[in-house]
Amino acid sequence: MPLTILRCAMKRAKARWCQHRSLYNSSHGFNETEAKRALALHSGGSVNLHKGQNGIAELCLNNPSRKNAISGSMMLELEEQISDLEKWNDGKGLIVYGAEDTFCSGADLSATNALCKPKDGLMMCMFMQSTLTRLQRLPLISVSLVQGKAIGGGAEICTACDFRLMTEESEIRFVHKHMGIVPGWGGASRLIQIIGPRQALKLLSSAQGIHPEHALSIGLADDILSSTADKAMEEAQTWISSYTKGPAETIRAIKKVVTSGREHALVDSLRKEKDIFGTVWGGPVHLQALSKVLKRN
């Protein structure tokens, strides 16, 4: 294999590895194997994934008897489902939602109580920050479908998607102040990216419940769904389809360039955009579209 092709293949492999690796390693005092062992001790609920034929996946936070609180085992299942989605090359979109009438009431309080030592809290923080960053970086257009409450860590999870759709009675609330902490799953950093530092400071320091109209006015929500609970998913599927029409290859490249622009300084982002452009220019989708346009004109 000529050296140039080998170099390109190695660069692509490295890029894929970088996207999937944890934000933290032993130099930060993080041991992924130990973290997984500790979190597995706190079981309850599940995280279920359905990958649709239409390229839209549905990820369910499923612990209704505890208002979809995230147990330790659910943190592990969330990471496993995101690993699955990272390998889903036909994927174009993702809808994250909660079972029954709630989005998510945050970390399971019995688990956080057992993990209340600083060392254990930091382990959970680094595991969930890495997991939700990988969710945010998926080359899929992602939506949090917020029905009912998204509280604490639940509010943090909904900031890890590209868009937020809220039903009329729903509420997002960063309750961390009342618990004497700050967001532990990356929610503060992402909230600042979404609504800016001033509005983020207001929501975090007031710990107020954010209702749909207010969320829409500050840019935290992207739309308010009129449906009743049983129709909300159908309405969310229709909403996301406006952004996922077309070949998966193109939709995924568009999400990648936006992720790159969000995370890199301008010059690095331009270079990443060039690399991504190089993966689609002259490809089958581009050439087919080009021939269609040339025939039309």
Ligand X SMILES: CC[C@@H](C(=O)O)C(=O)SCCNC(=O)CCNC(=O)[C@H](O)C(C)(C)COP(=O)(O)OP(=O)(O)OC[C@H]1O[C@@H](n2cnc3c(N)ncnc32)[C@H](O)[C@@H]1OP(=O)(O)O
| Interaction between residue 160 and ligand X (CB under 6 A) | no
- Please give the distance of CA 125 from its chain centroid, rounded to a whole number: 16
Among residues 108, 140, 186, 272, the one that binds ligand X under rule CB under 6 A: 108
122 binds ligand X (CB under 6 A): no
State which H helix or E strand residue 58 sits in.
strand 56-62
Give the total of residues touching ligand X (CB under 6 A).
Answer: 22
d(CA 79, CA 42): 15
Is 195 an interacting residue with respect to ligand X (CB under 6 A)?
A: no
Sole binder of ligand X in the list 175, 188, 236, 276 (CB under 6 A): 175
Reading the block at residue 168, the tokens are: 């009329």
Query: Which of 25, 49, 233 lies closest to 144, judged by CA?
Result: 233
Tell me, residue by residue from 225 to 264, as one string, x for binding to ligand X by CB under 6 A and - for no binding. ----------------------------------------
Q: Which position among 98, 139, 152, 186 is part of the footprint of ligand X (CB under 6 A)?
A: 152
Find the shortest distance in angstroms from Cβ 170 to ligand X: 12
Residue 190 within binding range of ligand X, rule CB under 6 A: no
Where does residue 49 rank: exposed (0-12), middle (13-18), buried (19+ CB within 10 A)? Answer: middle
Using the rule CB under 6 A, is 114 a contact of ligand X?
A: no
**CA dihedral for 52, 56, 57, 63, sign (positive or negative):** negative
Instruction: Please provide the DSSP assignment of 118-144 as one string.
Output: HHHHHHHHHHHHHHHHHHHHSSSEEEE
139 touches 168 (CB < 8 A): no
Closest approach, Cβ 185 to ligand X, in A, equals 5
> Distance (Å, rounded) from C-alpha 200 to C-alpha 180?
17
**Which residue of 85, 146, 151, 225 would you call a contact of ligand X, by CB under 6 A?**
151
Rounded to whole angstroms, how far apart are CA atoms 204 and 252? 33
| Residue 38, Ramachandran bin (φ over 0: left; ψ between -120 and 50: alpha; else beta) | alpha
Give the shortest CB-63-to-ligand X separation in angstroms. 8
Stretch that binds ligand X, among 6-14, 48-56, 105-113, 130-138 (CB under 6 A): 105-113
- The single residue among 93, 183, 186, 212 that binds ligand X, judged by CB under 6 A, is 183
- Degrees (nearest 5) of the Cα angle 57, 131, 176? 110
Residue nearer to ligand X on the CB measure, 142 or 159? 159
Q: Is 186 in the site for ligand X (CB under 6 A)?
A: no
Q: Could you tell me if 136 and 114 are in contact, meaning their C-beta atoms sit under 8 angstroms apart?
A: no
Instruction: Please identify which residue in 156, 220, 254, 276 interacts with ligand X, judged by CB under 6 A.
Output: 156
Q: Is 207 near ligand X (CB under 6 A)?
A: no
Q: Binding to ligand X (CB under 6 A): which residues in 39-98?
A: 66-67, 69
Summarize as ranges the residues that interact with ligand X (CB under 6 A): 66-67, 69, 105-110, 112, 149, 151-153, 156, 175-176, 179, 181, 183-185
